[in-house]
Structure 1
Amino acid sequence: MLCAISGEVPEEPVVSKKTGTVFEKRLILKYIEENGKEPGTDEELDPEDLLPLKTSRVVRPRPPNFTSLPSLLKAFQDEWDALVLETYNTREQLARTREELATALYQHDAAIRVIARLTKERDEARDALAKITVAPTAAGPSASNGDAMAVDNEGLPEHLVQHVNELQQQFMKGRKKRPVPSGWATADQVAALQQVAYADLNVAQASSLDTESDYAAVGGLDGKLDVYSVPANKVERTLDVGEPVTATAWTGSKVIVGTAKGAVKVLDGGHETASFATHAGAVTGLAVHPGGRILASVGVDKSYVLYDLETLEKVSRVYTDAALTACAFHPDGNLFGAGTQAGSIKIFQTATGEQAESFALGSPVQALVFSENGFWFAASGKGQATTVIFDLRKSGDAARARELATGEALGLAWDYTGQYLATAGSQGVTVQMYTKSSKQWSEPLRTSSSAVALRWGDEAKRLVVVSREGVVSVLGAKEE
């Protein structure tokens, strides 16, 4: 009996049940492991198909071909030829593998270069867009075709211009000599405000806050938005925005968020109803027109954009000469204020987008809010320990009506009567009060709890405050 693979007498013979062929057990098992078939056939073979043979133990003589020197030399030559052939095949396989690897590395390097080039072109385009500066007075009769102004700075459509003008007349008449509503919080009641409720939010790193009725919307840099019920003192809904939220506004049933990726998203009933990707960079502020129909957003791309919340369309865009960091509408709706990274506050005509005035704050603007009296607005700057009150009726240094020692303020909120200005910052929450009869400022309230944003509640008898760590607090009157 000879092994069908080695041609020698097997030490441990086995026979295939399928073909009756004899094999050396260790050789056929190795062959099956590598190929899964019987040598010389296409039939599948398993170790279970092998039947061991019992043979008498005898001393195996050497094959006749190894009994002479010529035979030995021929055997050595055959082994050498087999070794050389195997070496050649191995080198050929190595060469092919090297070629495939070189091709893969070249393709990978080319892909990296394409990505780098596209990234560079994108950054250059963003930088070029950010450097666009348009002076409203530049588009006069001497401007070629008037095209630059029409493309770069867009005024509101005629029907919205009429809407803004009608509301201005209405709000202006109602605001003048408007008395303090009955039941409004007194100075003593404001001074007695203290924490009456607090709750941990689901958002991480809270960045912005706005309120509507008894609810508050809090945006976070983790891409979530919490809707908090003040009476129930709990988070009733958490929405996934998908991008870091940098600004929040609430009007009617619509919650609007601005994101670090330049998107402005409108959420209604917990569902996204519109999304605008108009800013080349982060959105830094949102503001809703007093009429509730027009929304404004500002961003680091040196532009502000106006949207129609009824048709959910972008309707206007105006470029400036600096990155914008905060914004607010005048209570009459005819003016729009935007704070800049350069430390100035620019006042624009809402209808036309023309710049009406500019006020110097001295450091990057962090918060901006207009007073209901119609001629004051407050602004705070990065690193400044004071909040500055500006008078719209004056210009230059004369417009700085008052500097209030509030500490660095990240958020500002003026109440409906224009008496109380609330500030939120790392040093705590303060309320600054202006007494019209004596024309004096006072500070009825100061707390030590840090905050990033705050809003007044009904009749100025409540403050909703949110901290960077994602804790919302309600300051109100302690129940007896």
Structure 2
Amino acid sequence: MICSLSGKEAEEPVISRKSGAIFERKLIEEYISAHGKDPISEENLTIEDLTKVQGVPEYVPPQLPSLASIPNLLKTFQNEWDALALEVFSLRKQLHKARQELSASLYHYDAAVRVAAKATEERDEAQRALKELSQAVGNGVSQIKNDIDNGHPYKNGDEIPVSTNNILLSDIAEELEVERERLFAQHKAQKKTTKQFSGADYSIQMKENIPLPFKTLATVAYRDGMLALASTAGSITIVDVQNDANTTKIVRKGKPSNITLIKSEGQVVPVATTKDKIFVGSEKTSLQHSGEIIAIASHPTLAYFVVVGRTGWLLATTNSIIHQDSTPYISAAFHIDGKLVALGSSSAIDIVDISTAEKVAAIEFSNANKLLFAPNGYWLLALSNESLLVIDIRTQSVVGNIEGSFKDFVIDPTSTIIIATSEDSTFLYKYSKSEKQWMNEPVVHLDQGIRSIFILDDVHFEDYLQTGDIPFIGIDTDIRKGELKKEN
């Protein structure tokens, strides 16, 4: 029988009623006299709690008269070894306990450091936001005061810069999260209905050309069946795609640099930029950006939009700037569920949670001129001067690299077909499920260039579910209606 303390065969084995372990009687009695506990279970233990193991021959070793004999010396050495075994066992237990306490201390220290760093970051962000707000309010008041002092008071209809910031990110966080959950459920249901057309063969058919309502186009946007066309002279024409005779015109001075459409109070409203100013709808008041505006992107369903430039980016609504940041960007795109926004810079693409303005991911891709999230929700399409990349934001890996100089592109509802356009051609690229990659060579090549292209699946979604045909609209020197025709 092996002693649980010394690891050697016990000469007089006893068993503990507390832990059920076997010990050498002499060793356990010494341990009890020193500690009063069971060395295994740490419960209180007395000598009366020890039970002799029956069936072991009882004999009394001869008592050596002195240390002069070799047997007596060996016995002394044995006693010293037993004492050493007790001490080593005690040290092992103390070491294990010390390791546990050290691990807990390190965990609490690391948690404290993280909390302190987060608090410091929030304090610095609050101080920076307060400073920017104070400067913006001061600049707005000074400008109006100078104009009045110089004999140029603002009159009814003049463009008055809006510098109010009475909405905070915390005020819209819950609304964004509720809308994200609703859109996620909606897109999940749509994926099931559109899956039937995944991997189908398509051809490109051009059907009808409609002249532009003016001579020269500056920029264009599309949303919910409405096409916003901005001329270089400053006017903006809203065209109903289903009935092109139904148009609305907004006249404004200055050449629009960018335009998008937002959903405000159930209506589709244009948001246009001219240099560093942002105009919503037909309002004469403007929101002011810190520098020249390069790109603009709108939320899928709510009246929020993001504006980016080389001096920073901002999140705004129809009459107020909600958040400003000095990080420069050149492109932007909202996720299909509306809570994340992709911001492209000269060195990378940052994924930002607009409910907190915190960067949640960064993808290495420089100078993205256009960004677009695929309907599947996890692919991000990024266009540069040399190529069109399809990036999986879950793994930040490239799943497709289509080389070429393109003007614009779109992706179909199944996320398996890309239409890319150049100055003189239109190309159709297809995703191969068997090879798990996008084809580098176009499946269809059409000798007709398009400057901007939009898929109209939101307008004719029921027709699409029945036929699989996908209507689209292209903008160049005129408005061109076409269709991705599903091959039988």
TM-score by length of 1: 0.59
Unaligned runs of 5+ in 1: 1-136
| Residue matched to 1:147 | 127
More RCO (CA 8 Å, sep 6+): 1
CA contact (8 A) 1:408 1:427 kept: no
Cα distance in 2 for partners of 1:372, 1:345 equals 19
Identify if the C-alpha distance between structure 1 residues 357 and 315 changes in structure 2 by more than 3 Å, giving closer, same or farther.
same
Shift of 1:335: 1.1
Shift of 1:349: 1.2
Which stretch of structure 1 is more off in the superposition, 221-230 or 449-458? 221-230
1:332 aligns with 2:343: no
Q: Based on CA coordinates, which of the two structures has the bigger radius of gyration? A: 1
SS in 2 for 1:161: helix
**Aligned residue runs from structure 1 range 160-175, under 5 A:** 160-175=172-187
CA contact (8 A) 2:431 2:438 kept: yes
Identify if the C-alpha distance between structure 1 residues 141 and 337 changes in structure 2 by more than 3 Å, giving closer, same or farther.
closer
1:414 aligns with 2:428: no
For the aligned residue pairs, the C-alpha RMSD in angstroms reads 3.3
Shift of 1:331: 1.4
Shift of 1:368: 0.6
| 1:414-473: CA deviation from partner (whole Å, max 9, x where unpaired) | 333323333333243333333546534344433232333211013362111112xx3221
Say which of 369, 379, 383 aligns to 1:380: 383
Identify if the C-alpha distance between structure 1 residues 239 and 228 changes in structure 2 by more than 3 Å, giving closer, same or farther.
same
| Residue matched to 2:170 | 158
Shift of 1:317: 1.6
SS in 1 for 2:288: coil
Cα distance in 1 for partners of 2:118, 2:425 equals 45
Say which of 183, 193, 196 aligns to 1:181: 193
Shift of 1:265: 1.6
Cα distance in 2 for partners of 1:144, 1:438 equals 49
SS in 2 for 1:281: coil
Shift of 1:177: 7.2
CA contact (8 A) 1:457 1:463 kept: yes
1:425 aligns with 2:429: no
| Residue matched to 1:403 | 401
Cα distance in 2 for partners of 1:423, 1:216 equals 20
| 1:143-164: CA deviation from partner (whole Å, max 9, x where unpaired) | 6695125545999432310011
SS in 2 for 1:179: helix
| Residue matched to 2:483 | 476
Cα distance in 1 for partners of 2:232, 2:257 equals 7
Cα distance in 1 for partners of 2:125, 2:206 equals 61
1:439 aligns with 2:436: yes
**Aligned residue runs from structure 1 range 6-25, under 5 A:** none
CA contact (8 A) 1:293 1:308 kept: yes
Cα distance in 2 for partners of 1:196, 1:466 equals 13
Unaligned runs of 5+ in 2: 1-116, 134-164, 458-463
Q: For residue 210 of structure 2, what is the amino acid of its counterpart?
A: A
SS in 1 for 2:350: strand
| Residue matched to 2:158 | none
Q: For residue 361 of structure 1, what is the amino acid of its counterpart?
A: F
| Residue matched to 1:61 | none
Q: For residue 389 of structure 1, what is the amino acid of its counterpart?
A: V
Q: For residue 402 of structure 1, what is the amino acid of its counterpart?
A: G
Shift of 1:257: 3.2
Shift of 1:343: 4.0
Cα distance in 2 for partners of 1:188, 1:374 equals 20
SS in 1 for 2:178: helix
| Residue matched to 2:19 | none
| Residue matched to 1:464 | 473
CA contact (8 A) 1:258 1:283 kept: no
SS in 2 for 1:245: coil
| Residue matched to 2:315 | 306
Identify if the C-alpha distance between structure 1 residues 157 and 284 changes in structure 2 by more than 3 Å, giving closer, same or farther.
same
Cα distance in 2 for partners of 1:214, 1:181 equals 21
Q: For residue 466 of structure 1, what is the amino acid of its counterpart?
A: I
CA contact (8 A) 1:423 1:431 kept: yes
Shift of 1:370: 0.6
| Residue matched to 2:294 | 284
Identify if the C-alpha distance between structure 1 residues 180 and 243 changes in structure 2 by more than 3 Å, giving closer, same or farther.
farther
Q: For residue 372 of structure 1, what is the amino acid of its counterpart?
A: P
SS in 1 for 2:377: coil
Count of aligned residue pairs for this structure pair: 322
SS in 2 for 1:462: strand
